[in-house]
Amino acid sequence: MAIDVEAVRRWPFTEIRQRYAARDVILHALALGYGGNPVDADELSFVYGPRLQASPAFATTLCHPGFWVSDPRTGIDASQCVHAEHNVVFHQPLPAAGTVVAQTRVLDVFDRGADKGAVLVFARDLRDAETGVCIASIEHRTVCRADGGFSASAPELQGRKPAALFSAWDQTRLPDHRVAMPSLPQAALIYRLSADPNPLHADPAVALKAGFPRPILHGLCTYGLVSRAVLQACCDQRADGLRALAMRFLAPVYPGETLRVDIWQNGGTLGYNCVVPLRGGLLVATGSACLH
């Protein structure tokens, strides 16, 4: 079976309506480690109290279309798909409780070649169900590693590439901010209650079969940890301070590892690298952010 590019491009998504409560906001924040310092009022504002804030990254869990690429009608080998990049523009801060709607759409499919796979780009706009105001625009990029080469018989599709999510920045100087961000040993077990229930993040046997010594952290949990680092370093812990966050995933993170987020700031524009110091400074994610 081969990817059915036209079917994927026209995939019939239905609108998803989702109601969430303060409990859901808090559960997501606990997966990111908020509340670790019980006397830090700013940190507690994400998990407790009348000033409760929703982490901007919580938007990534709402109205998610699920693992639709596994539908046989797509022709995609879902076992070879990996989440490669993620970008969210935060137009409005999420209220601590509410109802949102979104409808996913495929933006495009790009062929990287028979030996490199295809890039699938899809997006959704998260809107307040009552007012219609757009809260967040979410773009998701997946590499379908076994589905490249489809443009060989279609010259008009050859050489096309998705636009870069972010530009390079000057890394010859020291970062302006360096944030140590520990992940909880049980982070994936908590995070899967908010979003992706894939057993790869919970079942040691499934992880081992996939080539990992133990369950790995969700990519979007890493995304949430980096958003937490940016809020801490650059936004005075205000959820409404973050305008956009783009990330490229480069290597898996294991629950319990401490990340180091190095941030280069130029006004309201940031570039960052996320590394695991105890694995030789392994670069696990990189990207950019914008502040309000």
The residue annotated as part of the active site, out of 28, 196, 218, 262, is: 196
C-alpha angle 202/257/60, rounded to 5°?
Answer: 60
**For residue 101, what are the contacts with CB-CB under 8 A and spacing of at least 6?**
15, 16, 17, 18, 63, 126, 127, 129
Residues in the chain: 292
Is 91 noted as a catalytic residue in this protein?
A: no
CA distance 32 to 116: 33
How many Cβ atoms are within 10 Å of 229's Cβ, its own excluded? 23
DSSP state of 54: -
Residue 105, token pair as written in the block: 């759409």
The residue annotated as part of the active site, out of 140, 201, 218, 262, is: 201
Pairing of strands 258-266, 269-276: antiparallel
In 3D space, the residue among 138, 198, 181, 194 whose CA is nearest the CA of residue 285 turns out to be 181
Residue 234 to residues 9, 12, 105, 148: CA-CA distances in angstroms? 38, 40, 33, 40
Is 108 noted as a catalytic residue in this protein?
A: no
How many Cβ atoms are within 10 Å of 258's Cβ, its own excluded? 13
Hey, which residues are catalytic here? Answer: 196, 201
